Structure 1
Amino acid sequence: MDARKHEHEVYDVSIDMEKLADSLRGELESLHPLAREYSIYRVPEATRCSHPSHFTPRMVSIGPFHHGKEELKAMEEHKKRYLKCFLQRTKVRIASFLGFIKAREAELRNCYAEAIHLGSDEFIKMVLVDAVFLIELFLKHYELDLITDEDPITDEDPIFGKSFLYDDVKLEILLLENQLPLFIPNDLFNLAKTAMFETNLYEEISFMTITCLWIRTDMIESIPIQENLLEINFPKAKHFVDLLILCLQPSQSPADSALNDRNIPSVKELHQAGVKFEPGSSKNLLDIKFNEGILEIPFLTVYDSTEHLYRNLLAFESMHYYTRHFNDYIVMMNYLVSTPKDAELLVQNKIFGLGDVEAVRTVFDNLNKGCAIDYYDFQYSGVVADLQAYCKLPWHKWKATLMQNYFSTPWASISVIAAVILLVLTFIQTVCSLIAL
């Protein structure tokens, strides 16, 4: 009896479990496939929570992550104006552009690290509107760059007509969560060029041309990049943030080595040890070098937008499993610029552009809180070891003290020389007096 009752209970549970199993199987079948090519991520909550405004667009959404948000709808109408301008220059029909995107829909969705909960039609329309917005924005910037006189574009276009709005938009184009795969605006631009009403302006340019010009003229001050690296890396870049990270790779791959002595000296300590500071001969931001008592640091001007941009670069570098070269740069600069006095010394040596030295220090300190240092594989370990060895030699400190305290100005030098001459003459007079006795 007990056995039959037990079997009956098992049978009843099995029916319930089969229903649950069907439900679970449906969820498993609807899982977003983990495509190897995904490269666009949503920033982890632990990273976002401390500075949410640095990762979240306030003006314009690009791509699906923030599409449809109420606070971003004001820009949607302007995006459609850009689409209208785009279509007026090409004979290619809008249906052809939509069909072109439809054929690549699966590839586009697989570029995102999470499922995109938009229907096919809405997704395709969103991609066209956002991709064309980028094309038109860069085209208008390109045209303005060619024109020296005042241009009517700035009067008609609220983005270019209001500098504060343009500054916000250009920064948000470089947010990690605001990305489209680069291949889609590139291919749409090429498709439009196959049948243009006017070809003279567009024959010799590409989406790469207008994109690299925009980055070089409008973003290069916040993130110095070596000549031609934008064009070299553009074909393999997944999106704009990826393009910048690729351009920031060190010019020479540092040898893997451990940071044995973890006491990285600050700029002030190095100055007191006689180290000289010069703007780097390389334009690559990460190329910090030390040779024969001279520390080379590439020139940088810190703007209000610098911290926003750098946070997105750091987030992408860590999430996409790149070697953490940019992470190590921030760590190194945070050690070097540990006080406003350190920043002031670098301003004096024309390594930092003029600005608020306290703000420079704060930016690196804030960014460093989101970084991790690997003491067993730190790209500047060789530079740090050389700096530490230089500081340990007493002669360098004595020489630095002499130069900084007694030969810092021409008048100080004259005073020291006069004092030495007086001391020598006094010594000679004393010797002569002794001999006369």
Structure 2
Amino acid sequence: MDKGEGDHVTISIKKTLMELPPTNPESFLYKVPRLRRKMNETVYTPQFISIGPFHHGRPELMAVEQYKLRALKTYLARVNLKVEEAMSMTFSWEEKARSCYGHSIDMNKQDFAKMMLLDGCFILEFMNSTNYMDSLLSKGDHEEWIDGVLLIGVMDDVERDLIIFENQLPFFVLQQLYELSFSSTKKSKDLTVNFMEWMAELFISTTSGYALPFKETTKVRHVVDLLRFYYIPSPETDEYNKFNDNEGIYSYQSPTITKLCETGIKVQRAMEADSMMDFSFKNGVLKIPPFRIHTNFEIQIRNLIVSEIFNVVEGKKYIFHYLLLLDDLIKTEKDVSILMKEKIIINETDGSAEQVLKLIHNLHLIAPSYRPQSYFNNMSRDLDNYCEKRWQRSMASLRRSMASLKRDYFSTPWAFISFLAATFLLILSLLQTLFSAPSIFHKK
């Protein structure tokens, strides 16, 4: 390479380095890693509507843009705001919102601010139209932004795409837009609480009674983050207090549901659980928080896993621990059937126990090949020890019975011969009864 070529390469590298965006510790929205995406492309990709910059402008999603404009019109009418004022407001958030994304975004400030406004208003109006929004949001004298029949038709598609990790807005954008929906004399119900209730109705469990896991000190990053809070264990539980990442190196594997039942353990639905992680085992009773198998269950779990991977603030990866335990407990269709009978698995699909089993098994495949010490390590150890002790007691009882039989009936050769003779006569009597029964019925 001559000097001229070397200078050209050097200049090119310097230019690339200068254009490289700075790393930002505040970033929390990223594109899904390629290898993980290849496992199942569709669960990480919006199919109906784009939210945020990563899928903005995709041709197959452009047909829905008109509904974003209609939602904006309805929103502006309710808050009594002009388009110019709304754009000025979103311009003030542009830099902060852009910094939340960990990849370079090829959009100018005007387009980025417009995207935030349209996408944010669409989400709020969609929630309002599906009757999950705060009752204080009054509709004003304006036309409906979306026909009711059409809303029912697209509801599932929108709900599905709202839990795609790559399809998110920073939550503070929604919060700012939401707060404008109220006058200074009205106190709004916190948007986070609204979202938590809405997401629980759609994706967690409508019958579990889970408490809202959101606390005032919790920083919500995006919509998927809200679902993740349901997988953070309650600090008041025994398992939480026992958990220690540095406690030994051996990881215990829990016995299956079927084996637990066979050894006398009662499996019950944990009605008092405040979190999906609040399993408990006391006095021979295993209590499991109920969970729903719905059409978007796989999408929900896979995107929650990605959200947890990029949650660098908290070191605990509870959702992976949750899947690890489910995979230990559920190995056969019988395991699934027991949990469905106890209303721990609420199967809202038309799928069989075999299909539910396959789904849970496939979800575990997204985890690392090694087995780290689980959050449920102490409980799994207690379950394993309980089963082992019950097995040992059963075997000891069997050995005692065999010893008693040997002592009472096989102590001498004549005793053994007498036992065989009695058994032989009993068998002959049974055979005689069986063969004589048809002839008796025939005579009648």
Above 0.5 in TM-score?
yes
Structure 1: how far apart are the matches of 2:329 and 2:345?
13
- Name the CA shift for 1:191/1:157 in 2 (closer, same or farther; >3 Å): closer
Q: What is residue 367 of structure 2 aligned with on the other side? A: 371
Q: What is residue 220 of structure 1 aligned with on the other side? A: 204
Give yes or no for the alignment of 1:208 onto 2:201.
Answer: no
1:34-433 counterparts in 2 under 5 A? Answer: 34-142=23-131, 157-158=146-147, 161-191=150-180, 193=182, 204-221=188-205, 226-230=210-214, 232=215, 236-252=219-235, 253=240, 254-256=243-245, 257-258=247-248, 260=250, 262-280=252-270, 281-321=272-312, 322-354=315-347, 356-372=352-368, 375-394=371-390, 398=394
> Which stretch of the first structure deviates more once superposed, 75-84 or 114-123?
114-123
Q: Is the 8 A contact 2:73 2:145 kept in 1?
A: no
Q: What is residue 413 of structure 1 aligned with on the other side? A: none
Structure 2: how far apart are the matches of 1:34 and 1:224?
41
Amino acid at match of 1:277: V
Q: Percent identity?
A: 26
Q: Is the 8 A contact 2:251 2:372 kept in 1?
A: no
Amino acid at match of 2:43: H
The alpha-carbon deviation at position 72 of structure 1 amounts to 0.6
The alpha-carbon deviation at position 90 of structure 1 amounts to 2.2
Amino acid at match of 1:188: L
Amino acid at match of 1:246: F
Q: Partner of 1:296: helix, strand, or coil?
A: strand
The alpha-carbon deviation at position 143 of structure 1 amounts to 6.8
Q: Partner of 2:268: helix, strand, or coil?
A: strand
- Name the CA shift for 1:249/1:136 in 2 (closer, same or farther; >3 Å): same
Q: Is the 8 A contact 2:251 2:371 kept in 1?
A: no
The alpha-carbon deviation at position 336 of structure 1 amounts to 0.5
Q: What is residue 410 of structure 1 aligned with on the other side? A: none
Amino acid at match of 2:328: Y
- Name the CA shift for 1:287/1:110 in 2 (closer, same or farther; >3 Å): same
Which sections of structure 1, spanning at least 5 residues, go unmatched?
1-9, 148-152, 403-437
Q: Is the 8 A contact 1:138 1:210 kept in 2?
A: no
Count of matched residue positions in the alignment of Structure 1 and Structure 2: 380
**TM-score normalised to structure 2 length:** 0.77
- Name the CA shift for 1:154/1:368 in 2 (closer, same or farther; >3 Å): farther
Q: Partner of 2:210: helix, strand, or coil?
A: coil
Structure 1: how far apart are the matches of 2:392 and 2:39?
43
Q: Is the 8 A contact 1:265 1:335 kept in 2?
A: yes
Question: Any idea what the Cα deviations from partners look like across 1:158-204, whole Å, max 9, x if unmatched?
Answer: 47645352012112111100000000121123245458xxx8xx754
Structure 2: how far apart are the matches of 1:173 and 1:69?
16
- Name the CA shift for 1:43/1:354 in 2 (closer, same or farther; >3 Å): closer
Amino acid at match of 1:244: L
Amino acid at match of 2:201: T
Q: Is the 8 A contact 2:199 2:227 kept in 1?
A: no
Q: Partner of 1:353: helix, strand, or coil?
A: strand
Structure 1: how far apart are the matches of 2:278 and 2:347?
21
The alpha-carbon deviation at position 96 of structure 1 amounts to 2.1
Amino acid at match of 1:96: E
Which sections of structure 2, spanning at least 5 residues, go unmatched?
137-141, 399-444
Structure 2: how far apart are the matches of 1:366 and 1:314?
13
The alpha-carbon deviation at position 397 of structure 1 amounts to 6.8
Structure 1: how far apart are the matches of 2:286 and 2:39?
33
Q: Is the 8 A contact 1:260 1:375 kept in 2?
A: no
Question: Any idea what the Cα deviations from partners look like across 1:224-256, whole Å, max 9, x if unmatched?
Answer: 6831324x2685111111222233211133233
**TM-score normalised to structure 1 length:** 0.79
Amino acid at match of 1:251: S
Q: Is the 8 A contact 1:266 1:337 kept in 2?
A: yes
Q: Partner of 1:130: helix, strand, or coil?
A: helix
Q: Partner of 2:344: helix, strand, or coil?
A: coil
